[in-house]
Chain A
Amino acid sequence: MGVVLPTDDDLVAGLRAGDEETFACLLNGWSGSMLRLARSFVSTAASAEEVVQDTWLAVFQGIERFEGRSSLRTWVYRILVNIARRRGSAEQRTVPWASLEPDHDPTVDPGRFRGPDDQYPGGWLAFPERWPTTETEVLAREVRATVAAAIDSLPARQQVVLTLRDIDGQRAEDVCALLDISMANQRVLLHRARAAVRSRLERYFTTAGGES
Chain B
Amino acid sequence: MTCAELVELVTAYLEGALDPETEQRFVEHLALCDGCDIYVEQMRRTIAEVGEVEPESLSGTTRDRLLDAFRTFPRD
Contact B62 A49 (CB under 8 A): yes
- For the complex, count residues of B whose C-beta is within 8 A of A: 43
The binding surface of chain B is classed by DSSP as helix
B38 at the interface (CB under 8 A from A): yes
Among residues 22 to 75 in chain B, which have CB atoms less than 8 Å away from a CB atom of chain A? 33-36, 38-39, 42-43, 45-47, 49-59, 62-63, 65-67, 69-71, 73, 75
Interface residues of B (CB under 8 A from A): 2-5, 7-8, 10-12, 15, 17, 33-36, 38-39, 42-43, 45-47, 49-59, 62-63, 65-67, 69-71, 73, 75
Interface residues of A (CB under 8 A from B): 1, 16-18, 20, 23-24, 27-28, 31-33, 35-36, 49, 52-53, 56-57, 60-61, 106-108, 110, 113, 120-124, 127-131, 143-144, 147-148, 151, 162-163, 166-167, 169, 172, 183, 187, 190-191, 194-195, 197-198, 201-202
Residue contacts A-B, CB under 8 angstroms, 9 given? A16-B75, A17-B75, A18-B75, A23-B66, A31-B63, A60-B69, A106-B8, A123-B3, A172-B15
